[in-house]
Structure formats: structure tokens, C-alpha cells
Amino acid sequence: MLKYIDIRNLAIIEQLSLPLKDKLTVITGETGAGKSIMVDALKLALGQRADQRWLKDKDKKGEITVTFDINANKAAIEWLDNHDLNPDGECMIRRVIHPQKSSRCFINQVPCPLNVVREFSQLLVTIHSQHEYQNLLKPEIQREMVDDFGENSKQLEIVKEAFQKWNTAKSTLVKLEKQKLNQDERIKLLTYQLEELNDLGLIEGEVVQLEAEHRQLAHAEELCQNSQSAIEFLTENEELAANSLIANARDKLNAVTKYTQDDNLTNIVTILESAQAQISEASHELQSELNKFEWDPKRLREAESRLDTIYKIARKHRVEPENLFELYQNMSEELASYKSLETQIESQTSVLEITEKEYLQAAELLSDMRKKSGQELAKATTDKLQQLAMLHARFSIIIHKTEAFSEFGIDNIQFIIATTLDHDPQPLDQVASGGELSRISLAIAVLTHQNALPTTFIFDEVDTGIGGKTATIVGQLVNQLASDHQVLCITHLPQIACFGNNHIRVQKTHKEKTTNTSLQTLTEKERIDEIARMLGGFDVTNQSLAHAKELLSLVTEQA
């Protein structure tokens, strides 16, 4: 519940501190006194957008601090705990509006963005005012009311969870199918290129081997001629061959070694003999290689043709010929990965079918629950409206299924009403006046919030367009809601004000060209005077005082 509100430098309030109690607190005051300023301040504290125009003194900051007792509000405690905001049973929200910079919001002294504060405030306060009555026309608000009345929150969570699974499965499948769509052209290209490379039949290392063979075949004549000449220079020319020349040198040295004991000459002879043997061996090996080599013009043409084909395909793929085989392997692996995508799509399609079935089962059950609770809420609302002087009101709730999936199920929910006997029910925005909307909103609020969280309810302009007996019934309904919740009700009707457990009067004062608003919690005597003023206008008479006492005594007897 809301325990305390402190307002500084806001609108026509210089400084105001007000403790609040449970049950029903009524707020009254003369027209223009600023009865709604507390509601406006509370909205600002709870995340409504603000600017410097709200400041009373444009050179000073404005500040609104509200304190809540949340010991009985498990949802609020859990929210604070999840956000590491010290859920110790009491929660303070503070809004600071600066004259020269952006405003700031704090929860338990921790700075928080406005959207976070607004999210949290929904667990604390429900405001019914002229703007909120218009919210009653919104389909999502109507859906929430049906679910609140039917206590469908658990099934709604099941639907939301099933929707998230289905939506994730669908998104994954769409992503895979998009990949496949984008890859179809690539697959076609890879298939064509791999067919070409398969026809080429390239093996690893073939290019290097072919190039070496081609060089040898292309220079066969030169190779044979030079090899033969080398053999002649080594052994075959009797006069000029290296072998013959070395033999002559050896013989000359052998001829003189018998005349000397010089070991060096003997060693030189041995070296020459070794060189002669190596030359003979080299000549023999070269002859063997020459004998093995066969110049084959046909094979040369084949090698040239094969290399030409390889070079053309390599240029086509913009790679070096020796890297063509590696490219073939990489392309084969890429194509194989695309083929696995087909398997993934098939598997994900099955997952989507399963999650869709689970979602529809949960949504169908929620739809059945809504139809039941919708009928009950429509009947109960019709009864309440007839009590509120809408004697011929026929309120209905239409629920029909849609093809679209959402986290809220598959239902479209629409509130319709007929306010006279000679008209068929129509959507609220087509037939309901502002006063009728306020009564419809009040009736549904009482019906749907009986089992709601222990939040604070604020009613502003709930008495629009009503009076007399109807006003008394409105007071009874508001008081009924206050039996389980804290309720603040701003009213100008004494028939409603007399139901308050607590009474606050709003006054506007003027001092030195300055206007200020103050709020005062009334004593029992002051309350009688205030209700008498509301009954009789500016002049409080003995008759109006007696009437005020009578109203209060009647309410006390009914309680």
C-alpha cells in the first residue's frame, strides 16, 4: 500500500508531505483547488514523462517521493529481488525534475530508467482516471480484464512459454530456409564446377609431374645431343676424352715415380686413377639414362594438351594450377555442408510441427477458459451497470479465434454494450459516453480486482455524469473494493465521500501573489463540515450539517 507521499516544487505545490492509510481514502475540495495534483504527482513518480513546465519555481528542482509497504505484495518483492533493489518490505520511489537537465528516477536510492520504473509501478498502483477510462476501449486491456476475472494467469504463462518455443522454432526454420534460398544459386554453381573438375580427373601432384615431363619431352633433342656430347668428352674421344687425357697424365707420372721416392707423386697417381674410374662410371650412367630415354612426340602432345586444359580451368577459378586440386577438395566439402542443411531443415520442420501442436493445445484451453470467464464477467457487469442507473444496459464480451499466433493466445476479445432496449450491442467506443465509460470501468474494476494483487487503486473522476442514488451505489462499489485493497478516490459528490475510512481535503491558498495547494487529513468534525459544504455549496447550514451527519450514520449502519 501507499504509505507516504512527499511533493516539493511541483505545479502549485511548494511543499507537501502526506501520510496515507489503508482502506478507502476520499479526497475532496472545491473546484480548481487541485484535487488531482496528488494523482499527477504520483504518475510522475511512477515513470510518466515530465519536463520543466511542471516546476512551480523554474529555477529550482522538483521532487516527488512515494513510499510503499510491500510486505503483502509478493510480486513486488520478487521483482525487486530479481533487479537487486533491496526488497526489505518497504520500497521508496523518488523522481527528481531538474530545471536545466533531464529528470531522474530512483528505486530504493538506485537510479533506474523510466521504463523500468513504469514496469515496476504496475505491481503497485492501478489508476482509474479519464485517460484510463479510454484505455478500456483498447483490445489488450479488455483481454487483460477477462483474464484477471477468470484468474487465467497460470494458463496464460503456459501459453506464453509455448509461444516462445514455437516462435523460436519458426525463426530458426525461417533462417535455415533463407540460407537455403540464398545458397541455391551457389549450389548450382558448385555442382557445375565440381562436374567440370570431376571430368578433369585431376590427382594430387599431377601438375608438377606433368610440367616436369613436358619440359623433358619438349627438350628431348637438345637433351640427347648434349648427353651424347658429354659421353664423348668423358670417354669416347680417343684423343680428347677426359678419360684418355687423365690416363695419359697417369702414365707420364708412373714413368717418373721409379726414379724418386717422393710419396706425393704416388698419391697423385692414385687420385688420377680414382678420377679416371669416376669418369668412366659417370659416362656409363649417362649412357644408361640416354638408353632409357625415348623421345615420344605423341606423349609430348598429350602432355601439352593436358596442361593446357588444366591451365585454362585454373585461370577460370583464379588459382595457380598446382592449387587446383586443393580447390576441388574445398568445393566438395562446401557442397557437402549444403546438403546437410537440407537435413537440418527437415529436422527443424518436425520441431516446428511439435511446438505448434503444443502451443495450440495450450491456446485452445486458454480460449475455453476465456469463454467461460467472459460470459460470467459480462453477466456480472450487466448487473452492476443496472445498479449504476444504466437500467437497460446489456454488456457482452465477444471472443473469437484468429489465425495469428501470439504470446497471449489465439483470441480476439471485444467488449460490446447496448445502453437502450431498442439498439443492438455495439463496441464501447461507438455507444458509451464518458460517464458511462467511467461506470463500466468501475464495475469491471470491482469485479476483476477482487482477487488481484494487494495494490493501491486510485479513482479520479469516477463520479463523472452521475448523482443521487447512483452516486451512492458508486460509493458502495468503491468501498467494496477497499475491503481488500487500499483505495484513493477523488470525488466532488458527498454520497461517495461519506464512504471514506479516511478523508483528505484539498485547499488552494493565495499569499503574496503566490498560489499554493495544501492537503489536510480531516478529523470527524471537520469531515462533517466538509460533507456539509459539498451538500450545500459555499454556505454550511444547520440543515446541511444534519444531512451530512445522516449520510455518515447511514454508511456506518450499512458497514
Please tell me whether residues 228 and 120 are part of one structural domain.
Answer: no
Q: Give the mean pLDDT of 178-207.
A: 80
Nearest to 552 by CA among 500, 507, 480: 500
Name the pLDDT band for 132 (thresholds 50, 70, 90): low
- Give pLDDT tens digits for 459-473: 887 777 777 888 888
Please tell me whether residues 211 and 109 are part of one structural domain.
Answer: no
Q: Give the mean pLDDT of 345-362.
A: 95
Please tell me whether residues 206 and 98 are part of one structural domain.
Answer: no
Q: Check residue 216 and give its pLDDT.
A: 67
Q: Give the mean pLDDT of 233-244.
A: 72
In DSSP notation, 474-505 reads: HHHHHHHHHTTSEEEEE-S-HHHHTT-SEEEE
Q: Check residue 408 and give its pLDDT.
A: 95
Last residue of a domain, one of 302, 337, 372: 337
Give the residue, 3 or 284, on which the prediction is more confident.
Answer: 3
Instruction: Let me know if residue 326 belongs to a domain.
Output: yes
Neighbours of 198 (CB within 10 A): 11
Is residue 452 over pLDDT 70?
no
Name the pLDDT band for 75 (thresholds 50, 70, 90): confident
Q: Are 63 and 96 in contact (CB under 8 A)?
A: yes
Q: Give the mean pLDDT of 114-135.
A: 82
In angstroms, rounded to a whole number, what is the distance separating the alpha carbons of residues 338 and 334?
7
Q: Which residues are within 8 A (CB) of 18 and not within 5 positions of it... i.e. 6 or more apart?
A: 4, 5, 6, 38, 504, 519, 521
For every residue of 273-302, which 3-state class applies, written as one string? HHHHHHHHHHHHHHHHHHHHCCCCHHHHHH
Please tell me whether residues 189 and 120 are part of one structural domain.
Answer: no
Is residue 147 over pLDDT 70?
yes
Please tell me whether residues 190 and 109 are part of one structural domain.
Answer: no
Q: Check residue 87 and give its pLDDT.
A: 76
Instruction: Let me know if residue 86 belongs to a domain.
Output: yes
Please tell me whether residues 333 and 193 are part of one structural domain.
Answer: yes
Q: What CATH code is carried by the domain that includes residue 6?
A: 3.40.50.300
Total domains in the chain come to 2
- Give pLDDT tens digits for 36-69: 888 888 889 998 888 888 888 888 899 999 999 9
Is residue 277 over pLDDT 70?
yes
Nearest to 400 by CA among 416, 383, 388: 416
Single-letter residue type at 87: P
Instruction: Let me know if residue 12 belongs to a domain.
Output: yes
Please tell me whether residues 301 and 206 are part of one structural domain.
Answer: yes
- Give pLDDT tens digits for 370-412: 999 999 999 999 998 888 888 888 999 999 999 899 999 999 9
Last residue of a domain, one of 310, 337, 364: 337
Please tell me whether residues 191 and 92 are part of one structural domain.
Answer: no
Give percent of the chain with pLDDT exceeding 70. 90
Q: Check residue 375 and give its pLDDT.
A: 95
Query: Which of these ranges, 138-142, 229-233, 322-326, 429-433, has the smallest mean pLDDT?
Result: 229-233
Which residues span the domain enclosing 112? 1-124+455-522
Q: Check residue 559 and give its pLDDT.
A: 57
In angstroms, rounded to a whole number, what is the distance separating the alpha carbons of residues 374 and 237?
121
